């Protein structure tokens, strides 16, 4: 979309809210992208800004999935240390997660240790890459990593002021993308809520790294601003979970063996969408869309640039009102039964670098063009209403309560979250009635 007015109109008049790309022309000139002293698009600056903050590294082209163990029950990029310890005890740790600081993580993956004024590097930064990787850039799987960390309230507020010259007047980003009303309602629990649900986060990705098909369990809207490099997403409607083999299918792996192993995807891939975002693009989607990501090697002037992007969740009236429902006849956290014909076949699926040749399965997926939203599912899809007067695919249950037992500080957070949601729901119903 090429104007904020178009984005606002889409939210107000289109009940589906399908993925779309906000064109980089709307973010041109934002200090966060272009100001040499304030931009967040370089590893050196991020290392200096967030150096001692806790971060984590996860490696691989399909983080959180393995051929032998399947999909991880928790995203290794956001699972708590307690949850990771539990996964290891259950022998269900699909992808190892390394905890460190932002400075150490950047130094480890990119061999970058920012120098101090006297020319020396900081003591807590070290290049931990293997010798061949350090000397000849032969990094293999070791070099395919994600760095992830949370943005606290202070940094988030600083960042928002870099979205153009006048963020306060909402002239540079629509207010619908900002749910500070809900977060402010949480009061002293706001930062804890943010960390518990990765509400605001920053990701640095190396070429070759990516995430398998998954559905985010917190029902919310998402937007991601690409600060550097590029990233490719593939989105599929929620009701295609069985045809995606619950995340087992890799849309970036174009081999005869893969197509024979997962034959159902080819018949539905034209209902999915791929989006390649570059620096300055802003991508929007809802959590109930299946999505997979991959970072490819850059070409031309962008060679060597990592993918850096900010991601945020946000809420709206539609989310608050729909969240009274539960997921119905769709695959997801509520119904995890796998399709009967998804049993794994023997054999090794070769990993190849996709190219846009005629037989490239990724290129058969319709591209999500700038200025256009996704058109949705297949013709003849059942639009019948389910419980709560919504179609089954639009019916969700709330998942904003902390996983640990509701006692002590977690009970206080849970109580505050419920209070804020109920108040928002009351206000949303009043606004809805006023429109009738």
pLDDT of residue 401: 54
CATH number, position 258: 2.60.120.10
Which two tokens mark 361?
Answer: 């399965």
Residue 311: enclosing H or E segment and its boundaries? strand 307-314
pLDDT in the model for residue 236: 94
Alpha-carbon gap, residue 211 to 59, rounded angstroms: 10
Range of the domain at 37: 4-435
User: Do 331 and 340 contact (CB within 8 A), yes or no?
Assistant: no
**What is the per-residue pLDDT for 53?**
93
Whole-angstrom Cα distance, residue 37 to residue 423? 41
pLDDT in tens, the chain (436 residues): 778 888 888 777 765 668 999 889 888 889 999 888 889 999 989 998 998 999 999 988 899 888 888 888 888 888 888 888 888 888 888 888 888 899 888 988 887 765 555 555 555 666 566 666 666 665 655 558 899 999 988 898 888 888 875 444 444 667 778 888 888 899 988 888 888 888 999 999 998 899 999 988 667 889 999 999 999 999 999 889 999 998 899 999 878 888 899 999 989 999 999 999 999 999 999 878 999 999 988 765 555 688 999 999 888 777 777 654 433 333 333 333 333 333 333 333 333 333 333 334 555 677 776 555 555 443 333 333 333 333 333 333 445 555 444 445 567 788 888 888 888 888 888 887 887 7
Q: Could you tell me the CA-to-CA distances from 320 to 129, 188, 196, 420 in Å, in that order?
A: 46, 22, 19, 10
Question: Total domain count for the chain?
Answer: 1
What is the rounded distance in angstroms from the CA atom of residue 421 to the CA atom of residue 185? 9
> Would you state the pLDDT for residue 238?
87
Residue whose C-alpha is closest to residue 344's, from 263, 251, 261, 258 = 261
């Amino acid at each position: 979309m090429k104007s904020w007015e178009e984005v606002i109109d889409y939210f107000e008049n289109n009940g589906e809210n399908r993925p779309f790309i906000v064109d980089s022309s709307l973010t041109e000139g934002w200090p966060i992208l272009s100001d040499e002293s304030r931009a967040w698009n370089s590893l050196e600056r991020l290392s200096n800004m967030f150096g001692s903050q806790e971060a984590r590294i996860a490696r691989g082209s399909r983080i959180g999935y393995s051929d032998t163990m399947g999909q991880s029950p928790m995203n290794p990029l956001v699972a708590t240390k307690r949850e990771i310890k539990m996964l290891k005890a259950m022998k269900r740790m699909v992808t190892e997660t390394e905890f460190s600081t932002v400075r150490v993580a950047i130094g480890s993956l990119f061999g970058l240790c920012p120098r101090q004024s006297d020319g020396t590097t900081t003591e807590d930064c070290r290049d931990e890459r293997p010798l061949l990787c350090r000397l000849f850039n032969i990094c293999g799987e070791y070099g395919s990593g994600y760095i992830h960390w949370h943005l606290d309230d202070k940094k988030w507020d600083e960042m928002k002021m870099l979205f153009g010259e006048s963020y306060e007047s909402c002239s540079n980003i629509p207010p619908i993308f900002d749910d500070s009303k809900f977060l402010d309602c949480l009061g002293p629990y706001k930062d804890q809520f943010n960390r518990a649900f990765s509400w605001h986060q920053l990701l640095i990705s190396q070429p070759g790294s990516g995430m398998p098909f998954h559905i985010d369990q917190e029902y919310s809207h998402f937007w991601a601003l690409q600060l550097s490099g590029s990233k490719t997403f593939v989105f599929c409607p929620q009701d295609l979970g069985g045809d995606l083999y619950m995340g087992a299918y890799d849309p970036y792996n174009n081999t005869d063996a893969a197509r024979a192993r997962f034959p159902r995807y080819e018949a539905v891939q034209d209902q999915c969408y791929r989006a390649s975002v570059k620096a300055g693009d802003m991508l929007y989607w809802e959590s109930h869309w299946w999505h997979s990501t991959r970072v490819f090697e850059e070409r031309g002037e962008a060679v060597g640039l990592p993918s850096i992007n900010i991601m945020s969740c946000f809420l709206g009236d539609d989310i608050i009102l729909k969240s009274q429902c539960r997921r119905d006849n769709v695959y997801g956290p509520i119904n995890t039964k796998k399709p009967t014909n998804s049993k794994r076949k023997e054999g090794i699926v070769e990993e190849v670098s996709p190219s846009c040749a005629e037989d490239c399965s990724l290129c058969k997926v319709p591209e999500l063009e700038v200025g256009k939203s996704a058109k949705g599912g297949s013709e003849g899809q059942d639009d019948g209403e389910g419980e709560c007067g919504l179609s089954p695919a639009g019916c969700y249950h709330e998942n904003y309560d902390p996983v640990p037992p509701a006692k002590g500080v977690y009970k206080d957070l849970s109580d505050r979250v419920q209070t804020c949601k109920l108040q928002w729901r009351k206000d949303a119903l009043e606004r809805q009635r006023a429109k009738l």
